[in-house]
Amino acid sequence: MRQEYRDTRIERSVGLLKFSIFSVTVGVVSGFGAVVFRALIAFFHNLFFLGTISAEYDANLHTPDSPWGALVILAPVVGALIVTALVETFAPEARGHGVPEVMDAVYYRKGVIRPVVALIKSLASALCIGCGGSVGREGPIVQIGSSFGSTMGQLFAMSPRQRIVLVAAGAGGGIAATFNTPIGGVLFAVELILHEISVKTLVPVVITTAIATYVGQLFFGVHPSFVIPALEKPYFHLANPWLLASYGGLGVFVGLASTAFIRVLYGLEDFFEERLGKNHYVRNAGGMLIFGIVIYLLKVASGHYYIEGVGYAVVQDVLTGKIPAFSFLVVLCLLKLFATSLTLASGGSGGIFSPSLFMGATAGGAYGSLLVFLIPGLGIDPAAFAVAGMAGMVGGTTGAALTAIVMIFEMTLDYSVILPMTITVALSYGVRKLLFKESIYTLKPVRRGYVVPDTLQADLLHAKRARDLMDTHIGTIGLSETGHIARYVSNSEISHLIVQEDDKIIGALPRESVENRQEETAFNLKEKILKDFVVANETDTLFNVIEKLHRNNKASLAIVVSDKKKTDSRRVAGVITRDHLTRILEEYEELFSGRDDSI
């Protein structure tokens, strides 16, 4: 059963200057967090695979032959046992690919993430990836950055809204620093983490991602993640409609692959849970033993481990045309899908972004190679289809379509591929959504029984004011008046009588409390008055009204006045009850539920 979070500290919004300093701090820490995390991956990779002590590791190059020979099979197993010990002992939420846990914190725990998560996630994921696990580094760095943002929000008392903004900023900053994608980092936070978009939420995220990117560039350089020599000259021309249509086919193909990835991952997770769910050590070690055997056999058969780690070396090979064979590209795509699902389902710790790039590149490259064989005169370059496939796989799998397009562009810096990527991502997302509603990120909380919104909507509570909803059928009565109250209410449309004493509002008397009754004495009338109320100005937004009612949870209604500095009854304009607020939520549901839409 979920343990509800109750914050005992005073929650209040901090000032703009102070919050900006927090945003900069989160950016600096997210940037250095990405640097340290990548150094940890390098350290563990060199130690377990090559038997050396070094923090130098270029993920775009294939891992050399291990001096351990066949014993390299045990490297993922040893890493799995250490990872399980860390996660089970200190932070169970560090298991898996990380982003769903951040979503859970945003929507269900007021942005609270335990500080220990950052440390354990760093070590566990670095070990898992370094020991060969087929996972990516974006999920861990998202959880690391978000954890620090949450910690800042807990150390310095602030409103839950601001704490959530720091959580999203930490996530975007981590993504931006580790991949050198500042705009992609912002969009990642917007599409997947932020619960609302406004100047107050977007600007801190932009500040954080900019600072984190700068820190990352100081250590990793400013060059893009992948170099594509074949695409140095524009290759795509609108004059060829068949080439444009071919990317539509790629989008459908990658959409099917995205659906398969989600189903296989969670299907294997169910399998391990049913068979070995109570023994996490056996579960993780067993899964990684199978994985170790696969990568060793792949090394013996083909010369490289290929599917171990983040897999950027394979992506680079596909983009430079070093793996042109259609059949081998398909085999690598399927093996990566299985290996990533196996790593995460058995209990590993890491992200799914990098494996999605691998699968998208190999699937897109295979599709392009097939078209070259079938339609040689179309002028197709498989590298272009590989880039579009990467974006399509990320967009279809994660549901973050804009993030996929922009991040792949920033990682390749090839503008001519934008239009093909857009077509591919749109169709990939649409196909996956048609076949399987939830993304790889939202399915985990949904399986736990929770709901994660997958849309960004205009908020009617901020768009409408109190005067738009208030009930104006009101009357005023003095506390000392006793005559003919029931008859007065029965013969009118009045819903509430505003009770005053010496021209000051002291409460409200609902119609049902006096309707069809005999004349009341002053004493009895006083007993029926609702004295728990809040005062709102008619220009207040409905969000402000709800906020006031929330602060005074005993209040059953808000009395709306034309001037909030005056509270005498002659300025009363209307009342808003909690039932009125339910009505506006019904209107909100009618506009945005999409029940009558075909999409």
- The DSSP call for residue 46 is I
Across 312-344, b (16+ Cβ under 10 Å) vs e yields: bbbbbbbbebebeebebbbbbbbbbbbbbbbbb
Q: Note the pLDDT of residue 197.
A: 82
The most confident of 104-118, 203-217, 220-234, 520-534, by mean pLDDT:
203-217
Radius of gyration of the chain (CA): 29
User: Cα(582)–Cα(580) distance, rounded to whole angstroms?
Assistant: 5
How do residues 41-59 score in pLDDT, each as one tens digit?
999 999 998 899 988 888 8
Q: What angle do CA 270, 271, 273 make, to 5 degrees?
A: 60
pLDDT at 501: 76
The edge-to-edge listing of strands for the beta sheet with 474-478 is 474-478, 496-501, 504-510
Asked whether the predicted pLDDT for residue 14 surpasses 70, the reply is: yes
DSSP code for 575: E
Give pLDDT tens digits for 525-535. Answer: 667 777 788 88
Segment among 140-144, 423-427, 450-454, 590-594 with least mean pLDDT: 590-594
Least confident of 7-21, 200-214, 572-586: 7-21
Domains located in the chain, CATH noted = 16-220 (1.10.3080.10), 231-289+296-447 (1.10.3080.10), 460-590 (3.10.580.10)
Quick one: tokens of 265? Answer: 């991952």
Q: Tens digit of pLDDT for each residue in 150-194? A: 999 888 878 888 899 999 999 999 999 988 899 999 999 998 888
| Distance, CA of 208 to CA of 226 (rounded, Å) | 24
Name the residue among 516, 525, 466, 508 with its Cα closest to residue 491: 516
Q: Is 595 a residue whose pLDDT tops 60?
A: no
Which residue, chain included where needed, has tokens 């099979």? 73
* Contacts (Cβ under 8 Å, ≥6 apart) of 447: 266
**pLDDT attached to residue 325:** 86
Question: Looking at the predicted structure, is the pLDDT value of residue 566 above 70?
Answer: no
**What 3-state class would DSSP assign to 506?**
strand
pLDDT at 383: 86
Q: How far is CA 265 from CA 277, 325, 452, in A?
A: 16, 27, 19
pLDDT tier at 470, thresholds 50, 70, 90: confident
The larger pLDDT score, comparing residue 560 to residue 449, is at 560
pLDDT digits (tens, 9 = 90+) for 365-414: 999 999 988 888 777 788 889 999 999 999 999 999 999 999 988 888 77
Distances 592 to 195, 432, 445, 455 between C-alpha atoms, Å: 16, 21, 22, 9
Give the chain's length.
Answer: 599
Please tell me the least confidently modeled range out of 192-201, 329-338, 584-593: 584-593
Across 78-92, 350-364, 447-461, 499-513, least confident range? 447-461
Residues 307-327 pLDDT 10s = 999 999 999 999 888 888 899
Q: What is the DSSP annotation of 368-414?
A: HHHHHHH-GGG---HHHHHHHHHHHHHHHHHS-HHHHHHHHHHHH--
Q: Which residue type occupies 375?
A: I
Q: What is the 3-state secondary structure (H, E, C) of 6-35?
A: CCCCCCCCCCHHHHHHHHHHHHHHHHHHHH
pLDDT, residue 568, reads 53
Residue 519 contacts residue 538 (beta carbons within 8 Å): no
Q: What is the predicted pLDDT for the residue at 196? A: 79
Eight-class DSSP state of 483: S
What per-residue confidence (pLDDT) applies to 416? 76
What mean pLDDT is predicted for residues 216-245? 70
pLDDT at 106 over 80: yes
Confidence band, pLDDT 50/70/90 cuts, at residue 299: very high
Q: Once rounded to an integer, what is the mean pLDDT over residues 517-528?
A: 58
**Helices vs strands, H then E, count in the chain:** 23, 6
**Cβ-contact 389, 363 below 8 angstroms:** yes
pLDDT of 454: 65
pLDDT of residue 7: 47
- Percentage above 70 pLDDT, the chain: 85
358 has pLDDT over 90: yes
How far apart are alpha carbons 76 and 79 in whole angstroms? Answer: 5
Residue 583 burial by CB count (10 A; 0-12/13-18/19+): exposed, middle or buried?
A: exposed
Task: Judge whether residue 142 has pLDDT over 60.
Answer: yes
Residue bearing the bigger pLDDT, 466 or 207: 207
| pLDDT mean over 4-27 | 74
- pLDDT, residue 4, reads 42
The mean of the pLDDT values for the chain is 84
